[in-house]
Amino acid sequence: TEKLELLYEGKAKRIYKTNDPNILLVSYKDSATAFNGEKKEEITGKGRLNNEISTLIFEKLTANNIENHFVKRLSETEQLVKKVTIIPLEVVVRNVVAGSLSKRIGIEEGTAIKEPLVEFYYKDDALGDPLITEDHIALLAVATKEQVETLKTLARRVNEVLTAHFLSCGVRLIDFKLEFGITEDGNIILADEVSPDTCRLWDINTDEKFDKDVFRRNIGSLTEAYEVILTRLGGQS
């Protein structure tokens, strides 16, 4: 597969066209951003870590029959994915109260949630990705009621697979964000990335944080934290 022109550049990834119209190339960047781009830093090695971790996670999901856009890892920082039309929603699943949920409803960070909570945020930088309800989704017409049900079902299935997998690696999956896309034939599949940039991952014994909160909160080395996740998932660090 040939890497052709740059299609899109985001905060953490670049997306290139390839000579196959149904396949895109994702290149993970060495930049870390938080708070809608307000906090920014170049971190050598971050792109490789997220590419490797995302690869292992997508492979795990594929092995568990959860359809996703991942095709293959190409290099240390690149992977090939299926071309989809991204649904402009961030689907967040929470097993433990943390981050914005803790702030919004005043429950202490670390409090377990009995039934995994699924939330939708509207992907819009100018609006700051607001939390929205299913009625707002209908009003915006970004997904049908049926598609919203599919998103919730898929998000819960991803949660079951990843919670169990991380637990077997000594890691608690606190919460995470997913994005979905629609394929040429109208199927909804998991897309974007699943990495310590998009998940909260705590050590099961010590609650040590191995995710982007290390960067957001200035509480240690991002690459050291992500290396721990890569190693525990069985990857080469």
**Contacting residues toward ligand C5P, per CB under 6 A:** 90, 92, 98-101, 129, 175-177, 198-200, 212
Among 89, 72, 90, residue whose Cα is nearest residue 80: 72
CB of 233 to ligand C5P, least distance (A): 17
Kindly state the smallest distance separating residue 197's Cβ from ligand C5P, in Å: 6
Query: How many Å apart are CA 193 and CA 69, to the nearest integer?
Result: 9
Q: Which is nearer to ligand C5P, 119 or 227 (CB)?
A: 119
User: What is the C-alpha to C-alpha distance for residues 124 and 130, in angstroms, rounded to an integer?
Assistant: 8
> In angstroms, what is the minimal distance from the CB of 177 to ligand C5P?
3
| Residues facing 119 on adjacent strands | 92
CB proximity list for 78: less than 8 A, separation 6 or greater? 3, 25, 26, 27, 28, 51
**Residue number with CB closer to ligand C5P (155 or 188):** 155
Residue nearest to ligand C5P (CB): 99
| Complex with ligand C5P: residue 18 or 163, whichever CB lies closer | 163
One DSSP character per residue, 18-59 reads ESSTTEEEEEE-SEEEETTTTEEEE-TTHHHHHHHHHHHHHH
In the complex, minimum distance from the CB of residue 22 to ligand C5P, in angstroms, rounded to a whole number:
26
Measured from the CB atom, the residue of 18 and 47 that comes closer to ligand C5P is 47
Residue 18 vs 229, nearer CB to ligand C5P: 229
The CA distance from 210 to 222, in Å, is 8
Q: Residue 180 half-sphere exposure, CB side, CA atoms within 13 Å?
A: 25
Residue 104: CB minimum distance to ligand C5P, A: 9
For 36, how many CA atoms within 13 A lie in the half-sphere containing its CB?
8
